[in-house]
Amino acid sequence: MNVLLDIIGSFGFLMILIAFFLNLSKKIIRNTFAYNGLNFAGSMVMGYYAYAINSMLFVAFQLIWASISLYFLLKKTHHHIKHRKKKKS
C-alpha cells in the first residue's frame, strides 16, 4: 500500500473525527460552517482515498456523506446571505 495514500486517507478520517468530537464536546454545533465544512472536506478526501484503493462501496458512502454535508453547507450559506440582506435593509 502507498504510504502517501494512507496519510491522505488518515487526514480525511481525522477531519471527520474532529468534527464529531467537537460536536459531542459541545465546542461546535452541527449546523455550523465549521462542522459541515469539516465533514464535507473529510468525506471528499476519504472518497478520493476509497477510489484510489478501489473500494466502490466506500466511495458511494463518502459521496453520500459529502452530499449531505454540502446540502447543509449551502443551506447555511443561503440563510446567512438572506439574513445579511435583511440587516442591510
- Rounded to the nearest integer, the mean pLDDT of the chain is 91
Instruction: Quickly tell me which residue has 446567512 as its cell.
Output: 80
Question: 21 vs 15, 16, 24, 29, CA distance in Å?
Answer: 10, 9, 5, 11
* Helix, strand, coil % in the chain, rounded to nearest 5: 85, 0, 15
Model confidence, pTM: 0.84
Write out pLDDT tens, residues 14-28.
999 999 999 999 999
**Extents of the domains making up the chain:** 3-88
SS3 23: helix
**Which pLDDT value is given to residue 54?**
96
8 in Cβ contact with 45 (< 8 Å): yes
